Structure 1
Amino acid sequence: MSRPDTLWVRKLGRQPYEPVWRAMQHYTDIRDVNSPDELWFLEHDAVFTQGQAGKPEHILMPGDIPVVQVDRGGQVTYHGPGQLVGYVLIDLRRLSIGIRDLVTAIENSIVAVLASVSIVSHPRSDAPGVYVENGAKIAQLGLRVRRGSTFHGLSLNIDMDLSVFQRINPCGHQGMEVTDIRRQSAAEPQSQNELADRLGAELANLLGYLHRREVSEHCLPDASGVL
């Protein structure tokens, strides 16, 4: 089983949650040793997703926002406008890494991107994700491994309506403060496209890929990489 040297990157624009989730599952289920490793960047319509460890009491007031029970790790989180989501679909066995290595690489890539816009941040050993100096959470992380491959991924808060997070206990933590790039940086927030480019480059480098290949078509793949 040869180690892949290219990470394929797809920018999918704004998408409803469930069709993309089902596409991730399908890609993971039918991929083989020749299927490319992929990174999907997008923005979701407003949705709460409840992970496998989720407890109903952490969903306080969902109101008109749908709640979707999903198969990633972790508890409840929110996806919506103003947030960059990145789904990481890689074969861990081909890269010869474990899930902890991948989590560390994702967190460190986010920290590097935030540093590029003058935001100091750090991961926490007791709670996956990335946090700013006052303890507020600026990026979320949740993964699933199936057949040796990962799906789900990360979300980075850029310029959001943060009041939505008051409807839940974010990631199961009561009263956790959530923030975004706009509130933490004096500079004008960069576009989602620019931040996706930086994040993709950082993650590819930390995982040891030699190349990134951006797919121009804004559509979901099959497991062969053929559109």
Structure 2
Amino acid sequence: MLLPGNIPVVQVDRGGQVTYHGPGQLVAYLMLDVRRLGFGVRDLVTRIENTLIALLADYGVTAAAKADAPGVYVDGAKIASLGLRIRNGCSFHGLALNVDMDLEPFRRINPCGYAGLAMTQLSDQAGQIEFSEVSVRLRAQLVKHLDYAEQATLTGGINQYD
């Protein structure tokens, strides 16, 4: 970590090293019984990355995963991060997609442990979009790529904090 300034720092038990979460970022915590689903760790990571790549393609954004650096990238800049932990056959933590946010705090850290890693966001790649629409599309893509037949949330929706 370099200069967190006034940003609270929280230690967590997941992969991915240091990251930043803030307003305008879509964060999804995936609590899955990966044993029951028959997913290994690499398979789960690939499915999440493919979910994000398909979501971004819906907005006309060409994105890719990197074999040696989990997450999703657009022209070498990271647009989505993954941080997972598997314990007792269940996944914890999840993904963060930069939708429309202030990217400056990423310059105060080494995102995901990579010094100088460029970050980008969906609004810079595809123009202004509705956060709630991205949430709905992400949920549909997760259902598809995780092989679920239907979708439900405890709250009936996905909320953005400001």
Count of residues paired in the alignment: 158
Partner in structure 2 of residue 71 of structure 1: 13
| Aligned-partner Cα distance in 2 for 1:204–1:87 | 14
Alignment of 1:1-227 (within 5 A): 59-133=1-75, 135-185=76-126, 187-191=127-131, 193-216=132-155
What letter is aligned with 1:140? S
| Aligned-partner Cα distance in 2 for 1:74–1:132 | 19
Of all paired residues, the percent bearing the same amino acid is 55
Q: Gaps (5+ residues) in structure 1? A: 1-58, 219-227
Deviation beyond 2 Å, 4+ runs, structure 1: 214-218
What letter is aligned with 2:122? I
| Aligned-partner Cα distance in 2 for 1:111–1:217 | 25
How far residue 156 of structure 1 moved from its aligned partner, in angstroms, is 0.1
- Asked which structure has the greater CA Rg, the reply is 1
The SS at the match of 1:74 is coil
How far residue 182 of structure 1 moved from its aligned partner, in angstroms, is 1.1
What letter is aligned with 1:129? G
| Aligned-partner Cα distance in 1 for 2:28–2:87 | 18
| Aligned-partner Cα distance in 2 for 1:83–1:164 | 12
Kindly report the root-mean-square deviation, in angstroms, between the aligned alpha carbons of the 2 structures. Answer: 1.5
What letter is aligned with 2:73? Y
The SS at the match of 2:46 is helix
Query: Which structure shows the bigger proportion of residues in strand conformation?
Result: 1
| Aligned-partner Cα distance in 2 for 1:141–1:194 | 21
| Aligned-partner Cα distance in 1 for 2:104–2:121 | 12
How far residue 129 of structure 1 moved from its aligned partner, in angstroms, is 0.3
Q: Gaps (5+ residues) in structure 2? A: 158-162
What letter is aligned with 1:74? G
